[in-house]
Amino acid sequence: MESAVNNGCCPEHGAPGGSNCRAVGPHKVPGDSPLAWFAGMVGHCKAHALAARAAGRPIVGIMCEYAPRELIFAAGAVPVCLCGGDPDTIPSAEAHLPTNLCSLIKSTYGYLVEKANPFLEMADLVVAETTCDGKKKMFELMAEARATYVLALPHREDDPDGLRSWVEELRRFKVFLENRYGVAITPERLREAIELMNRERRLRRELAELMKMEDPPLTGRQLLDFKSIISGLPDDLDQYERALALWRPRERSGSATHDARGQSPECATARQQPVRVLLTGVPLVHGAERVIEIIEANGGLVVCQENCTGLKPILEDVRADAPDLIRALGEKYYHLSCSVRTPNRKRLALLAQLATEYRAECVIELIWHACLTYAIESFHVRRLVENELGLPYLKIETDYSPADSARIATRVAALVETVRARTAAQHKWLSGVG
Ligand code: SF4
Ligand code: SF4
Please give the distance of CA 131 from its chain centroid, rounded to a whole number: 17
pLDDT at 319 > cutoff 70: yes
Residue 247, in any domain of the structure? no
Looking at the domain assignment, is residue 14 inside a domain?
Answer: no
The average pLDDT across 244-273 equals 67
Q: Averaged over 405-411, what is the pLDDT?
A: 98
The structural domain count of the chain equals 1
Distance 183 CA to ligand 1 centre (A): 29
pLDDT over 70 (residue 9): no
For range 292-314, the mean pLDDT: 98
User: pLDDT band for position 429 (50/70/90)?
Assistant: confident
Q: Is 105 in the pocket of ligand 2 (CB under 6 A)?
A: yes
Residue 197 maps to a domain: no
CA of 350 to the centre of ligand 1 (A): 16
Whether 134 is in the pocket of ligand 2, judged by its Cβ within 6 Å, is: yes
pLDDT of residue 158: 84
Number of alpha carbons in the 13 Å side-chain half-sphere of residue 167: 15
Residue 293's closest CA among 400, 219, 354?
219
Which residue has the CA at smallest separation from atom 8 of ligand 2? 132
Q: Is the pLDDT of residue 408 over 50?
A: yes
Non-local (6+) Cβ contacts of 55 within 8 A are: none
Of the CA atoms within 13 Å of residue 262, those in its CB half-sphere come to 24
14 Cα: distance to centroid of ligand 1 (angstroms): 42
CA separation, residue 34 to residues 225, 228, 249, 336 (Å): 10, 13, 17, 29
104 CA to centre of ligand 2 in angstroms = 7
391 part of a folded domain: no
- State the pLDDT at residue 268: 56
Which burial class, exposed, middle or buried, applies to 321 when counting CB atoms under 10 A from its CB (0-12, 13-18, 19+)? Answer: exposed
What is the predicted pLDDT for the residue at 236? 98
Mutate to test the pocket of ligand 1, among 62, 65, 315 (most ligand atoms within 8 A of CB): 65
Average pLDDT estimate for 413-424: 96
What's the longest Cα–Cα distance across the chain? 74
CA-nearest residue for atom 5, ligand 1, is: 64
The span from the CA of 418 to the CA of 248, in Å, is 31
Determine, yes or no, domain membership for 289: no
The pLDDT of residue 17 is: 26
Non-local CB neighbours of 391 within 8 Å, separated by 6+ positions: 355, 360, 361, 362, 363, 385
Q: Is the pLDDT of residue 242 over 70?
A: yes
Confidence band for 426, pLDDT divided at 50, 70 and 90: confident
H or E stretch covering 38? helix 34-39
| Buried-state track 143-167, b at ≥16 Cβ within 10 A, e below 16 | eeebebbbbebbeebeeeebeeebb
Which among 100, 105, 291 is the best mutation to test ligand 2's pocket, defined by most ligand atoms within 8 Å of the CB? 105
Q: How confident is the model at residue 434 (pLDDT cuts 50, 70, 90)?
A: low
Residue 77: inside a domain, yes or no?
A: yes
28: left (phi over 0), alpha (psi -120 to 50) or beta: beta
Give the helix/strand (H/E) hosting 304. Answer: strand 300-305
Instruction: Indicate the pairing of strand 275-281 with strand 148-151.
Output: unpaired
**DSSP labels for 78-139?**
EEEE-----GGGHHHHTTTS-SSS-HHHHHHHHHHHHT--HHHHH-SEEEEES-SHHHHHHH
> Which helix (H) or strand (E) element contains residue 414?
helix 405-433
Looking up residue 187, the CATH number of its domain turns out to be 3.40.50.11890
Q: Which residues of 413-434 are buried (b: 16+ CB within 10 A; e: fewer)?
A: bebbeebeebeeeeeeeeeeee
Mean pLDDT calculated for residue range 216-232 = 97
What pLDDT shows up at residue 87?
98
Residue type, 132: C
- In the predicted structure, residue 271 carries a pLDDT above the cut 70: no
pLDDT, tens only, 330-347: 999 999 999 999 999 999
pLDDT tens, position by position, 93-139? 999 999 999 999 999 999 999 999 999 999 999 999 999 999 999 99
CB 274 within 8 A of CB 32: no
Between CA 420 and CA 199 the distance in angstroms is: 39
Given a cut of 90, whether residue 181 has pLDDT beyond it is yes
Query: Does a structural domain hold residue 249?
Result: no
Shortest-distance Cα residue to atom 2 of ligand 2: 371
Residue 241 falls within a domain, yes or no? no
User: Which structural domain range is residue 45 located in?
Assistant: 41-191
Least confident span in 117-126, 261-270, 407-416: 261-270
What 3-state DSSP class applies to 394?
Answer: strand
CA distance 305 to 220: 8
